Structure 1
Amino acid sequence: MTREAPLTVAVIGAGIVGLCAALEVQRAGHRVVIVEPDEPGGRQAASYGNGTWINPAAILPISLPGLWRRVPGFLLDPTGPFVIRWRDLPRLAGWLLRFVAAGRNWALVGACARGRYLLCKDTVDEHLAYAREAGVPGLIRRDGLMYVYRGRDEFLAERRVWDMRRDFGVRFSEIEAGELRRLQPELSTEYGFGARLDDAGQITDPGAYCGALARLLVARGARRVIARATGFDIAAGRLRAVRTDGGPVACDRAVIAAGIGSALLACAAGDAVPLISERGYHVVIPDPGLDIATGLMPSDGQMGVVSTPQGLRLAGQVELADVSAPPDWRRAEILLGYARKMFPGRAARFDAKPVDRWLGHRPSTPDGLPCIGPASATPDIVHCFGHAHTGLTQAPASGRLVAALVAGDVPPFDPSPFSATRFAR
């Protein structure tokens, strides 16, 4: 449906998901107001500190069949790649039950993968187009990404996951030990096999990229409101304004893309969404003495290892805990330990200078899918949150879907798997 008069659309949140939604809404001819209390792409945002990957292969949820057997280990091992803090277990228990149930069989995993594939498949091309428009194409690298294993047997243990990726058309190459040494000469010989995602890439500085997209929006007429959204003014089922701590923002439509803060806003819009923080850490080692053209993920560490303008970044792993819980900087030391293990020839250099440590809150639903779609209180409010650790990858397609839903146009793909009402069933 094409409207003669443009709508005024308030986009709540200026992380990568909110910025892509705002760009697509603006591209459709509507007036955009960005409601965000902090600097777009600043250190407070999950978008700032992620692993930089834009990955068409990110179609699998974390919860897979048999995961329930490992939950005790998540509680008992504070050094593993997936950790649950004991003191937060009572509050997390309901979410964890849904999380395990979501991956209890491969049919459910396949259904989730079909939804995620729609959000992931064109991500590199879409981000490159945005970067060119924003004048920062150099922030996009298209050199692939690689999972590295200690041997082929570890790769074969994950064969079903890789076969599923191939079934969806994801291209990857199997890299034997000799070729791995040639491609990554600094990598420890402990790693003897790789699976390279040939069409994947990275955004080398996500914070700078978000800043560039925000400036592009403003240059094209968007208005920024530096305030925190607190709720909505809804009358007779129609949205009149977004309430903020700086006063109301009048608008015809609103998009909730506030990251971990989205759950309270969704509740105000009529939807109770089980959203928790998948707390992610990173360390950046300045002047590491090496450049990794292809981002890596070691099978034993489960974190992204990438070169950025600031240095070598190791980012990822999962810590489930309350948003208010203090950081556990042992997680950063674990990441540093993997840096030394992966690149033993550079270990002394890694320890020569202080590293940058960061913690961010990745908004996660239990079933591996974000919430994208109209709110229950009014179709004038559209959800767009809950992308967990793949927000960078899924943001462009999410933005295109949001723009269609905001205007009442035909969506680019079926939005029903992402409806927030699935949690009310």
Structure 2
Amino acid sequence: MGGLVSNPLNYAKAPYLMSSQSQEAPYSPARITLIVFSLAMGGFGIGTGEFAIMGLMPGVAQDLGVSEPQVGHLISAYALGVVVGAPLLAISGARLYRRHLLIMLMGAYAVGNIASAMAPGYGTLLAFRFIAGLPHGAYFGVAALVAASLVPVNRRAKVVSLVMMGLTLALLIGNPLATILGQSLDWRYAFGFVGTIAALTGVMIIVFLPLNRDEVRQSPFSEIRAFNRPAIWYPLAIGSIGFAGMFCVFSYMAPTLLEVTGVSPYWIPIALAVFGLGGFVGNILGGWLFDRLGFRSIGLMLLWSIGMLLLYPYATETIWTMLLTCFLVALMVGLGPALQTHLMDVAHGAQTLAAASHHAAFNVANALGPWLGGMAISAGLGWQSTGYVGATTAVAGLAIFMLAWRQQATAGGETEVAVSQER
């Protein structure tokens, strides 16, 4: 799950985003708008597909004859697909034209979700959710590079953030809509809806994004060599572990509302929309805070996350405190743009692979959170225990941040400290 909201200065210093398109600006403003909208539509579909099952957990469990924690494993299977697919597809597709790669990735995403809608049982659905997750990270990485190549340097941050806004709008709009659709008809229709969006995105890319035969294609082996540095691995580790707490709470929010808060199922889409609003606000605040405080902002957001996740178990008794806390926990999404911007600052020579791996890291969190929360629930600790489990992962993320801060202080030139000093 992570957005790209960054300081334009970072883009000005990022030659990996340079292309003949960005210098010559061959496309009209209307054409650029259509391309960016098409890419954002793909982000909206992927975000909806990733999170839809969280609001449909009780219905899926009843239909397939499994427990809610077992449904949580479906979330983990998708996330593991992202983790596996992001680096592999980014590397294997490095020599393809970006237009062709985006079309292939959206086609694969459509197939994976339509297959999920038609899955006859739990085992096959588990496999199809893994397959559906494979194109996720590579799509966002390539889409960000395509969007940045369309406009001059001083407009790149804005246009890339517009593409990534599709993901946050999926939390705010797509996920509640999929939940309502699943509750009104059947949970399978939600995945059919996502597959349709993915197919439509592929068609829009074919129609609106021209093939640029002058596009510079990268060597996959050069990116692999440049990727293996602590400055890259630390922010990926922070996202993988520190962000797991949000997914731990979010994944089991629907059954918590039913079993602990004691509300009707009709409150679930409302709670999901409130959570999505918190994610939307957090995405904006995370970029704003990073622009002002640099790498330190990540530590502050992790401290905030620990406090909100510890508060969550005490807020589940009433719907109003639950809604407020869901909004506050969702502000953790701000870690996404902050970590992405920091990663872009330090991933010299490995930007394509790093951009895809950023989303893989957040889906490690998406796999880890539901798995740990499911273990706590299955052990009889109650639905509220997801808050304590999440706070523990945030503490671990803070510990990794401290190690990264120490490494950064000694590394000198390629750190965010040096970048901040140049500003």
Instruction: Give the TM-score band, short-chain normalised.
Output: under 0.3
- TM-score, structure 2 as length reference: 0.23
TM-score normalised by L of structure 1: 0.23
Indicate the structure with greater helix content: 2
Instruction: Flag the structure with higher strand content.
Output: 1
